[in-house]
Amino acid sequence: MITITGVPERELPNVLRSISIDGLTVISIEKTADGTYTIIYGPDAAATPSNPTGSPRQGAGARGMKK
């Protein structure tokens, strides 16, 4: 359990999203009936490949050829 104090409630979701644990980032924040928050963590979106088709991509330093 984590206790966060001194943060206005309207800012709390932004603060919670900024917390990273072991390379995981916040996927979902839900406020429960008792006023606490449930935070679901998952893999960092930036570290996850964004090429679901599996087609080859150029590397970061690769440049296309001009005709």
Which residues have a Cβ under 8 Å from the Cβ of 1 and sit 6 or more positions away? none
On whether residue 17 sits in a domain, the answer given is yes
- Classify 26 as helix, strand or coil: strand
On whether residue 58 sits in a domain, the answer given is no
On whether residue 4 sits in a domain, the answer given is no
**Tokens standing for 20?**
């990273």
On whether residue 57 sits in a domain, the answer given is no
pLDDT on residue 27: 87
On whether residue 24 sits in a domain, the answer given is yes
Tally of structural domains, the chain: 1
Structural domain span for residue 26: 9-45
Q: How far is CA 38 from the centre of its chain?
A: 15
On whether residue 37 sits in a domain, the answer given is yes
What one-character-per-residue DSSP string does 49-65 give?
A: ---TT------TT--PP
On whether residue 54 sits in a domain, the answer given is no
pLDDT (tens digit per residue) in 9-39:
889 888 888 888 888 888 888 888 998 888 8
On whether residue 62 sits in a domain, the answer given is no
Q: How far is CA 26 from the centre of its chain?
A: 5
pLDDT on residue 42: 87
